[in-house]
Amino acid sequence: MRILALTALFIATLGTAAAQNGAPWSYVGKDGPMNWGKLDPAYRACKDGREQSPIDIRGAHLNKSLPPIEFHYLAAPLTLVNNGHTIQAQVHPGSYVVWDGVRYDLEQFHFHHPGEEAVHGKLTDMDIHLVHRSADGKLLVIAVRLGEEIGYPNATLAALWNHLPAQEGQTEPVTDMINPAGLLPADRGYWTYMGSLTTPPCTEGVRWFVMEQPMSVSRAQLRQFADIFRVNSRPLQDAHGRKIEANE
């Protein structure tokens, strides 16, 4: 167990070091989203990109040939990291999805408050981004929207929220067996489009899936996260005529 925790911490440390190679950025003030593209040449896509995320999901075209997402998530311990921008869960290797015949390994998942993805102009209270990577380096992100109006606490979130690291740079091992599948809705219908990372350097070429059915989050769970990150979401970006497709 200790080896798993140390491995996750090592991965998290690498990720934090990589993020610090660019200019500091924030969600508010002069280093906020409106200025990301000016902070560092490496962040140029944040202002010049034509396939930026998040976007408002509207006008989606039904494509009956779109395959379902095959989820192969495993229950395992993980490590929560406060990287100064969000709470990120570093997962044990082994969980993955298959889409269109390609395997994408789950690397981490993290949270945004309020939610970044809008559907017909409406944002939810929070969302979860589950970040996957294929063997050839392509990124696939699954967004799950969380809404307080559904009215009850999420059990998997409750297990994680018991260990939330409140201070930047702090890590908290979660020794409970956490299955990320507990963060997914029962209905696996989705919208999909090509977009970007929603944080600097805003790299494009990311395949996005926004789950159609939202999940529940309680008011207490929202407040607990908001006490750490009052706002950590990027504003909606111009779709620039991108095709948004929906499966059945």
Active-site annotation, residues: 85
Which of 107, 106, 126 has the alpha carbon at shortest distance from 115? Answer: 126
Residues with Cβ within 8 Å of 99's Cβ and at least 6 positions away in sequence, in order, are 67, 69, 70, 140, 207, 209
Burial class (CB within 10 angstroms; exposed 0-12, middle 13-18, buried 19+) of 202: buried
Residues with Cβ within 8 Å of 81's Cβ and at least 6 positions away in sequence, in order, are 12, 15, 16, 87, 88, 89, 90, 165, 170, 171
